[in-house]
């Protein structure tokens, strides 16, 4: 119950308006294998605000893609342990949206097996299955879509791993947010209103 209250409180605090005078927020993940850019959906304002907050604090920059599975996902942001996600700064209430699906390149929020389907504030994954992962729809929040760098995601999920799906050679993250105009997004095939 306390965990749910904390998640709801964190969600309320993070539901602040996102400035858009300079364009649309795009997450940028830089790795030794290349750069990934993804559009952040405004339909999931709490998850968007959380990502912007953590990226702005350089929270992700000491972390890695810690779980990678070919034809499934590249996951990073905080370690996945048998007890749940380690050291997530907070949880977020789900923001399921029927128009945001687990298609190839979708960016979603990871979670443990909690009954409220609360997202770990720091954990994200990128869908690396070309057919999508429809079984995750309505169970995990999708809050972004890769617009550049799926070749990098494919390289990440193709790296050798141990028995827990952790890369044998760590893949550190450097994460920030850039602003793109409607026209810039269109060059990547992303149409925005």
Sequence ranges of the domains in the chain? 2-18+26-175
- Average pLDDT of the residues in 13-38: 78
Cα separation, 90 vs 48, whole angstroms: 14
SS3 content of the chain, % helix, strand, coil (to 5): 25, 30, 45
Average the pLDDT over each of 16-20, 28-32, 35-39 and give the range with the smallest value: 16-20
- Average pLDDT of the residues in 123-130: 97
CATH code given to domain 2-18+26-175: 2.40.100.10
The pairing of beta strand 34-40 with beta strand 119-120: unpaired
Angle at the Cα of 133 from the Cα atoms of 55 and 23, rounded to 5 degrees = 35
pTM of the shown model: 0.87
pLDDT of residue 86: 62
Cα separation, 116 vs 98, whole angstroms: 18
For 21, how many CA atoms within 13 A lie in the half-sphere containing its CB? 1
Q: Mind listing the pLDDT tens digit for each residue in 161-174? A: 999 999 999 999 99
pLDDT above 90 covers what percent of the chain?
A: 75
pLDDT of residue 20: 55
């Amino acid at each position: 119950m306390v965990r749910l209250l904390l998640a709801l409180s964190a969600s309320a605090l993070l539901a602040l308006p996102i400035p858009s005078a300079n364009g649309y927020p795009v997450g940028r993940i830089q790795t030794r294998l290349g750069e990934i850019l993804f559009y952040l959906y405004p339909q999931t304002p709490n998850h968007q605000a959380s990502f912007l907050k953590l990226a702005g604090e350089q929270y992700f920059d000491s972390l890695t893609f810690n779980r990678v599975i070919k034809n499934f996902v590249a996951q990073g942001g905080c370690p996945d342990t048998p007890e749940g996600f380690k050291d997530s700064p907070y949880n977020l209430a789900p923001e399921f949206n029927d128009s945001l699906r687990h298609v190839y390149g979708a960016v979603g929020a990871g979670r443990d097996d909690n009954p409220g389907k609360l997202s770990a504030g720091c954990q994200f994954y990128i869908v690396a299955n070309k057919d999508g992962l429809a079984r995750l729809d309505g169970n995990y929040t999708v809050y972004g879509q890769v617009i550049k760098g799926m070749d990098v995601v494919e390289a990440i999920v193709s790296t050798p791993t141990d028995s827990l799906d952790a890369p044998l050679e760590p893949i550190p993250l450097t994460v920030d947010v850039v602003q793109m105009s409607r026209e810039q997004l269109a060059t990547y095939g992303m149409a925005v209103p």
